[in-house]
Amino acid sequence: MTTYGADILDRVKERFGQAGAPVEHAILVLAFAPGEIGAAARALRDEFGFELLLDVTAVDWPDRDPRFDVVWHFYATRNRVRVRVKTAVALSDPVVPSLTALYGSAAIMERECHDMYGIGFEGNADLRPILLYEGFVGHPLRKDYPKRQEQPLVPYREEAKP
């Protein structure tokens, strides 16, 4: 598959001082410390035209410390290039900055990631469950989630009293 805009990707690498960043299957992979995410996303959007935040998710590596990788995918519609941004956070403090101030799409995707992995997004005040429900116990996509665990049920609504 052709890699579009290879020169853009070179400039992105240079900008973040990650000359050795790999391009995996036509996607540039950048790694940052959790604190740098906000500034990196702002630079990607404003300097390189990555207008679309496509995806926010996490990967759980239970035997590793720090345990979680949080993963963002960006797409630049004009240059037609993609970037994957990764950061590692520990179980003891699984918090990364929220991108809601930069991208509207971050709000709902961060809620999903919080549901599934218990990752906190600092600056996103609305981390209510979106795919799960109020009262769901645990974070199902963590590898140590007990699959046979029963979840509290929502009781039938009482009949409306006259």
Partner 1 sequence: MNAPGPVIRNPVRPAFDKASRDDTVIVSIGPSHPATHGTIQIFAELDGERILRADVHCGYLHRGFEKECEDHTWHNLIPYVDRLNYCSPLINDFAYCEAVEKLMGIEITRRAVVLRTLLSEYSRLCDHITCIAASLMELGAMTAFLYLVMIRDYMYEHIADLTGARVTHSYGRIGGLARDLPEGWLKRLEEILVQSDDFLGRVHGLVDRNRIFIDRLRDVGVISQSDALSYGYTGPILRSTGLPVDLRKDTPYLAYAELDFEVPVGIKGDNYDRYYVRMCEIDESIHMIRQCVDLLEPGPLNVDDRRCVFPEKTRVYDEIESLINHFKIVMEGPRVPAGEVYSAHEGPNGELGFYLVSTGGGTPWKVHCRAPSFVHMGGAHRMLEGGQLADLVPTFGMINMIGGECDR
Which among 69, 34, 75 is positioned nearest to 52, based on CA atoms? Answer: 75
In the set 154, 159, 160, 162, which binds partner 1 (CB under 8 A)? 154
In the set 35, 64, 131, 144, which binds partner 1 (CB under 8 A)? 131
| Options 10-18, 30-38, 87-95, 133-141: segment touching partner 1 (CB under 8 A) | 133-141
Count of residues engaged in binding partner 1, rule: CB under 8 A: 50
Q: Which is nearer to partner 1, 37 or 83 (CB)?
A: 83
In the set 10, 122, 126, 144, which binds partner 1 (CB under 8 A)? 126
Angle at 98 between CA 69 and CA 100, to 5 degrees: 130
| Residues at the site binding partner 1, with contacts judged by CB under 8 A | 1-2, 4, 24-27, 51-55, 57, 59-60, 71, 73, 75, 77, 80, 82, 84, 103-105, 107-109, 112, 116, 126, 128-135, 137, 140-141, 145, 147, 150-155
